[in-house]
Amino acid sequence: MKKIKFLNGMSAVFALAVVALATTFTSCEKEDFNVNIEPNPAMVCFTPTVIDAATNVNVTAKATITGADAITSTASDKSLPAGTATITATVTVDDKTATGTVTVNYPAVAAGQILSISPVILLSSDFNIVAGPAVNVGAPKEEYATGGDINHSHAGITWAENASDYLLDYTATWNKVADATMVGEPEILVTSVDLNAAIKDKLPVENKSTSETEGKFQASAWSLYTAVYSIQAANVVYSYTSIASGELVAKVTYYNPISYITVSPKEMGIPGHDYKPGHGHSGNPNAGGGISLAD
């Protein structure tokens, strides 16, 4: 098989990513210990990338994308149940249209959490290429935010510190890069030698995947706090169907090491201080120092 370095110098996002935690400090009224923190509604965000499989060119800017709007909980408990999103991209050139679709099965998301999913949609002027749902591979890997104000080591974790009587707003942002690679050889479902070559010439062998987004959280008074990122790897099977005949001609499996990333706040009381979890004024406009983690 002819091996092609995917993108030839251009970035193709294949999936998800993570982490930098930024926090900011300003003033607020002294907290009312009778007011509980309300978590934000759960959210699922999509950041698809569109690739022309015939040329290995990123065509996201030219594509019309549907089905990729963020999904935000409207439930009373602010959680989101597991669900499915179908995202479609089309590019039309000289009255010829290339189409690709990806089906994303996302898990349940708890109140206060944000799930970021970054699928890749492959297009071709010769084939419709449809990505099946991601199939998880192995257990999720956890990573903690580092750098900046995260410099208090305790209980095996390094934390940021809110040494005040006030709630502290902070922003968890992530920007993670990983390699997505083809698993084995393409499964060619027809016998034409010419078609075999055409399919193999359009397959990226490897690519860089990146993704970034952010979530808003609050740290309690007199707390140590950080963000925890749960990173799930998955395999995705791409099906190649002839635009002209509608015949399924090939299947290709890709391993995506950062298919899903879920971010959650984590905190504990500062040892020796009067920790007040879940109390204070929510929605304060405080801003302060930065904490970051990036690959």
Is residue 33 pLDDT above 70, yes or no?
no
**What pLDDT does 187 receive?**
80
- 144 with 227: CB under 8 angstroms? yes
In contact, 182 and 124? CB cutoff 8 Å: no
Helical ranges in the chain per DSSP H = 193-201
Chain CA centroid to CA 268, Å: 27
Measured CA distances, 139 to 26, 135, 179, 225 (Å): 39, 12, 18, 25
Using one digit for the tens of pLDDT, what is the confidence trace for 139-191?
A: 988 888 776 578 788 888 888 888 888 888 888 877 877 887 888 877 877 66
pLDDT score for 183? 84
d(CA 166, CA 95): 60
Q: CA 146, CA 148: separation in Å to the nearest integer?
A: 7
Position 209 scores a pLDDT of 67
Instruction: Enter the pTM of the model.
Output: 0.63
Bridge-based pairing state of the strands 168-182 and 19-23 = antiparallel
- Using alpha carbons only, how large is the chain's radius of gyration in Å? 22
CB of 285 within 8 A of CB of 216? Answer: no
Of 56 and 230, the structure prediction assigns the larger pLDDT to 230
**Where does the pLDDT of residue 20 fall: very low under 50, low under 70, confident under 90, or very high at 90 and above?**
very low
Token reading at 204: 């990226």
Tokens encoding 56: 């290995």
